[in-house]
Structure 1
Amino acid sequence: MNTAVHNKLVSFIWSIADDCLRDVYVRGKYRDVILPMVVLRRLDALLEPTKKAVMEELAFQRDEAKFTEWDKNGLRQASGYVFYNISEWTLQRLQNTATNSQQILQGNFEDYLNGFSANVREIIEKFNLKSQVKHMTSKNVLLTVLDKFTSPYINLTPFEKTDPEGRKLPPLSNLGMGYVFEELIRKFNEENNEEAGEHFTPREVIDLMTHIVFDPVKNNLPPVITIYDPACGSGGMLTESQNFIKDPEGEIRAKSDVHLYGKEINDETYAICKSDMMIKGNNPENIRNGSTLSTDEFAGKNFNFMLSNPPYGKSWASEQKNIRDGKAIIDPRFQVKLKDYWGKEEEADATPRSSDGQLLFLMEMVNKMKPLSQSLSGSRIASVHNGSSLFTGDAGGGESNIRRYIIENDWLEAVIQLPNNLFYNTGITTYIWILSNNKAANRNGKVQLIDAGQLYRKLRKNLGAKNCEFSPEHIREIVKVYAEMQTIERKGEEGIAAQVFDNSDFGYCKVTIERPKRLKAQFTAERLAQLRFDKTLLEPMAWAYSAFGEEVYTALARHEKAILEWCEKQELNLNTKQAKTLVSAATWDKQLELLNAATKLMEAIGTDEYNDFNIFRKKVDAQLKEDKAKLSTSEKNAILNAVSWYDADAEKVIKGITKLSGEELEKLLTHLGCEESQLADYGYYATGKKGEYLEYETENDLRDFENVPLKESIYEYFLREVKPHVPEAWINLDATKIGYEISFNKYFYQHKPLRSLEEVSDDILMLEKESDGLISEILNLA
Structure 2
Amino acid sequence: MAKARITEVMMDDTSINVSKEVDLVFSIANSLRGAYKSDKYKDVIIPMIIIRRFECALAKTKQAVVEAFEANRDIPPQILEAKSGYKFYNTSRFTLAELLNDADNIVSNFKSYIEGFSANVQSILRNLDFEKEIDKLDKNNRLLGVVRKFSEIDLNPNTIDGIKAGYMFEEIIRRFSENAEAGDHYTPREVIRLLVSIILAEGCDDLYTERRVATVLDMACGSGGMLSTTQDAIIRMNPDAEVRLFGQEINPESYAICLADMLIKNEDAKNIRLQDTMKADCFEGQDMRIVIANPPFGAAWGGKDAADGVESAVKKEHKKAEKYEGAEKLEHSRFPWGLPTSGDMQLLFMQHAIYKMSKDGRAAIITNGSPLFSGNTTSGESQIRRYMLENDLIEAIIALPTDLFYNTSIGIYAFILSKNKRPERRGKVQLINAVDMYKPLRKSLGKKRKEISRDDIRRITEIYSNFEEGEFCKIFDNEEFMYKEYAVYQPLQRRGSISAANIAALKSSAFFTANTRIFNEAEYEVLLETDPREGDDEKKFQNYLKGKEFTEAVIAALEEHASDKEYDDFAEFTKKLKEILGGIEGMTDSRLNQIAMEMSVMDKTAVVQKDKKGNVLTDPTTKDTEIVGLRVDVEEYFKREVYPHIPDAIYVYEYDPNKKASSTNKEKMGAEFPFTRYFYEYKAPEKADDLLAQFNEIERGLETKIAALTGGGH
Superposed, which structure 2 residues align to 1:60-75 within 5 Å?
Answer: 61-62=72-73, 67=74, 71-75=76-80
Give the aligned length: 669
**SS at 2:292's partner residue?**
strand
RMSD (CA atoms) = 3.7
Match of 1:753 in 2: 684
Match of 1:663 in 2: none
Distance 1:254 1:335 in 2: 43
Match of 1:321 in 2: 312
The question of whether the paired residues in 2 share the 8 Å contact of 1:303 and 1:379 is answered with yes
Match of 2:672 in 1: 741
Question: Deviation of residue 307 (structure 1)?
Answer: 0.8
Question: Deviation of residue 120 (structure 1)?
Answer: 1.5
The question of whether the paired residues in 2 share the 8 Å contact of 1:323 and 1:331 is answered with no
**Residue deviations 1:483-531, cap 9 Å, x none?**
1112222xxxxxxx11221112222222222222222232234544566
Q: 1:348 to 1:234 in 2, by over 3 A?
A: closer
Question: Deviation of residue 730 (structure 1)?
Answer: 2.1
Question: Deviation of residue 172 (structure 1)?
Answer: 2.3
Q: 1:594 to 1:757 in 2, by over 3 A?
A: closer
Superposed, which structure 2 residues align to 1:190-201 within 5 Å?
Answer: 190=178, 193-195=179-181, 198-201=184-187
Distance 2:288 2:584 in 1: 72
Does the alignment pair 1:508 with 2:483? yes
Aligned with residue 610 of structure 1, among 554, 557, 567: 567
Q: 1:536 to 1:642 in 2, by over 3 A?
A: closer
Q: 1:632 to 1:10 in 2, by over 3 A?
A: same
**Residue deviations 1:339-382, cap 9 Å, x none?**
9xxxxxxx9852211122211111110111112xxxxxx11111
Q: 1:240 to 1:650 in 2, by over 3 A?
A: same
The question of whether the paired residues in 2 share the 8 Å contact of 1:315 and 1:355 is answered with yes
Distance 1:740 1:746 in 2: 15
Amino acid in the other structure paired with 1:130? E
Question: Deviation of residue 224 (structure 1)?
Answer: 1.0
**SS at 2:214's partner residue?**
strand
Q: 1:597 to 1:24 in 2, by over 3 A?
A: closer
The question of whether the paired residues in 1 share the 8 Å contact of 2:507 and 2:555 is answered with no
Match of 1:40 in 2: 51
Amino acid in the other structure paired with 1:731? Y
Amino acid in the other structure paired with 1:709? G
Distance 2:322 2:165 in 1: 36
Question: Deviation of residue 438 (structure 1)?
Answer: 0.8
The question of whether the paired residues in 2 share the 8 Å contact of 1:197 and 1:423 is answered with no
Distance 1:608 1:132 in 2: 85
Distance 1:56 1:428 in 2: 56
Distance 2:543 2:201 in 1: 75
Q: 1:135 to 1:336 in 2, by over 3 A?
A: farther
Distance 1:714 1:205 in 2: 42
Question: Deviation of residue 453 (structure 1)?
Answer: 1.0
| Larger CA deviation: 729-738 vs 589-598 | 589-598
The question of whether the paired residues in 2 share the 8 Å contact of 1:31 and 1:188 is answered with yes
Question: Deviation of residue 33 (structure 1)?
Answer: 1.8
The TM-score with structure 1 as length reference comes to 0.78
Match of 1:156 in 2: 155
Superposed, which structure 2 residues align to 1:348-747 within 5 Å?
Answer: 350-371=338-359, 378-489=360-471, 497-529=472-504, 535=510, 538=513, 587=544, 590-597=547-554, 599-600=556-557, 603=560, 608-621=565-578, 631-633=587-589, 635-637=591-593, 639-654=595-610, 656-657=611-612, 693-735=613-655, 737-747=668-678
The question of whether the paired residues in 1 share the 8 Å contact of 2:46 and 2:253 is answered with no
Amino acid in the other structure paired with 2:376? D
| Larger CA deviation: 741-750 vs 602-611 | 602-611
The question of whether the paired residues in 1 share the 8 Å contact of 2:500 and 2:563 is answered with no
Q: 1:605 to 1:142 in 2, by over 3 A?
A: closer
Amino acid in the other structure paired with 2:425? R
Q: 1:480 to 1:294 in 2, by over 3 A?
A: same
Question: Deviation of residue 238 (structure 1)?
Answer: 0.8
**Residue deviations 1:429-485, cap 9 Å, x none?**
211111111111121112211111111111110111111112211111111111111
Does the alignment pair 1:92 with 2:97? yes
- Unpaired runs of 5+ residues, structure 1, are 160-170, 340-346, 372-377, 490-496, 547-552, 565-574, 658-692
Question: Deviation of residue 236 (structure 1)?
Answer: 0.9
Match of 2:233 in 1: 244
Q: 1:531 to 1:718 in 2, by over 3 A?
A: closer
The question of whether the paired residues in 1 share the 8 Å contact of 2:443 and 2:449 is answered with yes
| Larger CA deviation: 120-129 vs 397-406 | 120-129
Amino acid in the other structure paired with 1:155? D
Distance 1:8 1:43 in 2: 20
| Larger CA deviation: 477-486 vs 391-400 | 391-400
Distance 2:697 2:133 in 1: 66
Question: Deviation of residue 588 (structure 1)?
Answer: 5.3
Distance 2:91 2:534 in 1: 63
Q: 1:579 to 1:217 in 2, by over 3 A?
A: closer
Q: 1:148 to 1:594 in 2, by over 3 A?
A: closer
Does the alignment pair 1:7 with 2:7? no
**SS at 2:469's partner residue?**
coil
Distance 2:232 2:620 in 1: 60
**SS at 2:513's partner residue?**
helix
Does the alignment pair 1:147 with 2:67? no
**SS at 2:420's partner residue?**
coil
Amino acid in the other structure paired with 2:602? Y
**Residue deviations 1:11-34, cap 9 Å, x none?**
32232233x334333333333222
Match of 1:767 in 2: 698
Distance 1:621 1:196 in 2: 60
| Larger CA deviation: 50-59 vs 205-214 | 50-59
Match of 2:658 in 1: none
The question of whether the paired residues in 1 share the 8 Å contact of 2:483 and 2:671 is answered with yes
Q: 1:187 to 1:334 in 2, by over 3 A?
A: farther
Question: Deviation of residue 108 (structure 1)?
Answer: 0.3
The question of whether the paired residues in 2 share the 8 Å contact of 1:614 and 1:653 is answered with yes
Question: Deviation of residue 148 (structure 1)?
Answer: 1.5
Distance 1:245 1:775 in 2: 69
Aligned with residue 214 of structure 1, among 184, 200, 219: 200
The question of whether the paired residues in 2 share the 8 Å contact of 1:223 and 1:256 is answered with yes
Match of 1:668 in 2: none
Does the alignment pair 1:180 with 2:168? yes
Question: Deviation of residue 125 (structure 1)?
Answer: 2.3
Does the alignment pair 1:126 with 2:137? no
Match of 1:664 in 2: none
- Unpaired runs of 5+ residues, structure 2, are 1-12, 329-334, 656-666
